[in-house]
Structure 1
Amino acid sequence: MADLNFNKEFSEKDRLMVKRRELLFDITEYLEKGFLRKGFNRDFFDYINEISFRMLNGGEDYYALFLGDTLREIDLNQAFPTASVLKGNKILFLFNPISFLFLEEKEAIALIKHEILHILLKHHAREKALKNKYRKLAINLAMDISVNQYINHLPKYTERINTVNMRFDINLKTGETLEFYTEAIHNAILEHPKEAEGLKESGEFNYEEVHDRWVESEDEDSDEVKDKLRSTLQMASRNGIPDEVLRIVKDNIKGEVSWTDVIRKALKTLPKGRKKTVTRMSRRQPDRLDLRGELRNHIPDITVAIDISGSIDDASMNDFLKEVLSLSQLYSESIRILECDNEVRRDYKIRTLNDIKPLLKRRGGTKFTPVFRHLKEENLRSTLLIYFTDGLGEDRIEVRPSHHKTVWVVKGDRISLKDPMGEVVYLKSSKKDPGNASYGIEVMRALLHDWAR
Structure 2
Amino acid sequence: MDTTLADQAFDLRNRLEIWANDYYFLPDPKDRASKLPAPLKAEFFIFLSHLSVALMEDEDNFFGYFFFQMGKELDLTLRAPTGVTFRGTKYVLFFQPFLFLEQTPEQMLSSIRHEILHIVFRHLLRARDLRSSYSKLALNLAMDAIVNTYLDPVPADGVTIERINGQYQLYLTPYDTLENYAEQIQHGLEWKEKSQTTTTDQVTDSDKPQFDPAHAHDLWETADASDPQTMVKFTEKYLDEADKGNLPSHLSSAIAAIKSENPALPWDWYLRRMAGTLSCGTKHTTARLSRRQPYRLDLRGELHHYKARILVALDVSGSISDAEFHQAMEEVLHIVQTQRVEITVIECDDQIKKVYHVRSVRDLQERYPYRGGTAFSPVFAYANKHKIDLLIYFTDGQGEERLEVKPGGYKVFWIMSGKGKTLSLLNPPGLIKPLKTKEDITLSELDDPHNDGYSMNNQEPIAFT
Name which of 212, 236, 245 aligns with 1:239: 245
Corresponding residue for 1:133?
133
Q: What residue identity is the alignment partner of 2:98?
A: I
**Contact (CA 8 Å) 2:254, 2:453: kept in 1 or not?**
no
Q: Are 1:414 and 2:443 an aligned pair? A: yes
Q: What residue identity is the alignment partner of 1:218?
A: D
5+ residue gaps, structure 1: 1-8, 257-410, 416-422, 428-436, 446-453
Q: Are 1:425 and 2:448 an aligned pair? A: yes
**Alignment map for 1:54-453 (pairs within 5 Å):** 54-193=54-193, 194=196, 197-201=199-203, 204-219=210-225, 221-222=227-228, 224-246=230-252, 413-414=442-443, 424-425=447-448
Check 1:191–1:412 CA distance in 2 against 1; reply closer, same or farther (3 A cut): farther
Check 1:196–1:170 CA distance in 2 against 1; reply closer, same or farther (3 A cut): farther
Note the alpha carbon deviations across 1:257-316, whole angstroms, 9 max, x for none: xxxxxxxxxxxxxxxxxxxxxxxxxxxxxxxxxxxxxxxxxxxxxxxxxxxxxxxxxxxx
**Contact (CA 8 Å) 2:120, 2:255: kept in 1 or not?**
no
Quote the offset at 1:426 in angstroms: 7.4
Check 1:201–1:94 CA distance in 2 against 1; reply closer, same or farther (3 A cut): closer
What is the number of residues matched between the two proteins? Answer: 260
Check 1:73–1:201 CA distance in 2 against 1; reply closer, same or farther (3 A cut): closer
> Is 15-24 or 146-155 further displaced after alignment?
15-24
Quote the offset at 1:100 in angstroms: 0.5
TM-score (norm. length: structure 2): 0.51
Check 1:248–1:145 CA distance in 2 against 1; reply closer, same or farther (3 A cut): farther
Same amino acid, percent of matched pairs: 23
CA distance in 2 between counterparts of 1:26 and 1:39 reads 11
Check 1:226–1:43 CA distance in 2 against 1; reply closer, same or farther (3 A cut): same
The structure with the greater share of residues assigned to helix is: 1
CA distance in 1 between counterparts of 2:111 and 2:226 reads 22
Name which of 11, 21, 30 aligns with 1:22: 11
5+ residue gaps, structure 2: 24-34, 262-439, 460-465
CA distance in 2 between counterparts of 1:151 and 1:239 reads 19
**Contact (CA 8 Å) 2:82, 2:115: kept in 1 or not?**
yes
**Contact (CA 8 Å) 2:75, 2:95: kept in 1 or not?**
yes
Quote the offset at 1:222 in angstroms: 4.5
Q: What residue identity is the alignment partner of 2:448?
A: V
**Contact (CA 8 Å) 2:99, 2:210: kept in 1 or not?**
no
**Contact (CA 8 Å) 2:63, 2:242: kept in 1 or not?**
yes
CA distance in 1 between counterparts of 2:93 and 2:202 reads 25
Note the alpha carbon deviations across 1:195-222, whole angstroms, 9 max, x for none: 9822224795222111111100011644
Q: What residue identity is the alignment partner of 1:22?
A: D
SS in 2 for 1:197: coil
Check 1:438–1:41 CA distance in 2 against 1; reply closer, same or farther (3 A cut): farther
**Contact (CA 8 Å) 1:66, 1:233: kept in 2 or not?**
yes
Note the alpha carbon deviations across 1:338-392, whole angstroms, 9 max, x for none: xxxxxxxxxxxxxxxxxxxxxxxxxxxxxxxxxxxxxxxxxxxxxxxxxxxxxxx
Check 1:426–1:189 CA distance in 2 against 1; reply closer, same or farther (3 A cut): closer
SS in 2 for 1:199: coil
Q: What residue identity is the alignment partner of 2:149?
A: Q
Check 1:439–1:185 CA distance in 2 against 1; reply closer, same or farther (3 A cut): closer
Check 1:196–1:235 CA distance in 2 against 1; reply closer, same or farther (3 A cut): farther
**Alignment map for 1:3-14 (pairs within 5 Å):** 13-14=2-3
**Contact (CA 8 Å) 1:85, 1:91: kept in 2 or not?**
yes
**Contact (CA 8 Å) 2:149, 2:174: kept in 1 or not?**
yes
CA distance in 2 between counterparts of 1:105 and 1:243 reads 25
Check 1:225–1:438 CA distance in 2 against 1; reply closer, same or farther (3 A cut): farther
Check 1:91–1:424 CA distance in 2 against 1; reply closer, same or farther (3 A cut): closer
Q: What residue identity is the alignment partner of 1:164?
A: I
SS in 2 for 1:208: helix
**Contact (CA 8 Å) 1:26, 1:37: kept in 2 or not?**
no
Quote the offset at 1:88 in angstroms: 2.0
Q: What residue identity is the alignment partner of 1:200?
A: Q
**Contact (CA 8 Å) 2:70, 2:92: kept in 1 or not?**
yes
**Structure of greater Rg:** 2
**Contact (CA 8 Å) 1:230, 1:440: kept in 2 or not?**
no
CA distance in 1 between counterparts of 2:240 and 2:151 reads 21
CA distance in 2 between counterparts of 1:134 and 1:222 reads 21
Quote the offset at 1:176 in angstroms: 1.2
Note the alpha carbon deviations across 1:24-72, whole angstroms, 9 max, x for none: 1221122101143332222111111101111222213110100001111
TM-score (norm. length: structure 1): 0.52
SS in 1 for 2:214: coil
SS in 2 for 1:39: helix
**Contact (CA 8 Å) 1:73, 1:95: kept in 2 or not?**
yes
Q: What residue identity is the alignment partner of 2:73?
A: E
SS in 1 for 2:146: helix
Note the alpha carbon deviations across 1:2-36, whole angstroms, 9 max, x for none: xxxxxxx8xxx243233223311221122101143
Corresponding residue for 1:391?
none
CA distance in 2 between counterparts of 1:40 and 1:30 reads 10
> Is 213-222 or 128-137 further displaced after alignment?
213-222
